[in-house]
Amino acid sequence: MRGMEDDEVYEIPLTSLVDVVFLLLIFFLVATNFNQKEKDHAVLLPESEAGEKVAPVPDRLVINIRENSLLVVNGQVVTDTELRFLAQTFARANPERAAVIRADGRVPYQAVMRVFGICRTAGVRNVDLPILEPAAS
């Protein structure tokens, strides 16, 4: 009968664990960049004391209205007709989700209401108009 003395050494393989951690890191970096893609940095939102940070919500139709009244969705300039089609598709797929109209603060009110009207006639029930909280002086 042998004694309890074994010379076997047990090792936990860490290579797979390291691979998984790197894959997760890459996934979250890519997912973060997709989340920011909807924001058009040429759009300067208006400020108001009622402004607050809006948490990003997936599956939203984000419509950016630039200072020159160009409509931008997912980084692409779109026409009113294309926006109407996108809004109808969005409304059918996500009837309870809100569309977001990110209008530059220098855009005429008429341009914002035109986009709002397109969304409403396309069947979008909820529309958010984000604003910024004024910077502390």
Given a contact cutoff of 8 angstroms between Cβ atoms, the answer to whether 73 and 61 are in contact is yes
Distance CA 114, CA 14 (A): 58
Distance CA 112, CA 114 (A): 5
Give residue-wise pLDDT tens across range 36-65.
Answer: 455 666 666 666 666 555 555 567 889 999
Give residue-wise pLDDT tens across range 99-109.
Answer: 999 988 899 99
Task: Give the range of the structural domain holding residue 135, as residue numbers without chain letter.
Answer: 1-137
Which phi and psi (to 5°) does residue 116 adopt? -60, -45
**0.75 cut: is pTM over it?**
no
Distance CA 90, CA 61 (A): 7
Count of CB atoms situated within 10 Å of the CB of 8: 4
Q: What is the CATH number of the domain that holds 55?
A: 3.30.420.270
Q: What is the pLDDT of residue 32?
A: 67
Domain count, the chain: 1
Given a contact cutoff of 8 angstroms between Cβ atoms, the answer to whether 102 and 130 are in contact is yes
Mention every residue, 6+ apart, whose C-beta is less than 8 A from residue 51: 130, 131, 132, 133, 134
Q: Give the confidence band of 85 by pLDDT, cuts at 50, 70, 90.
A: very high
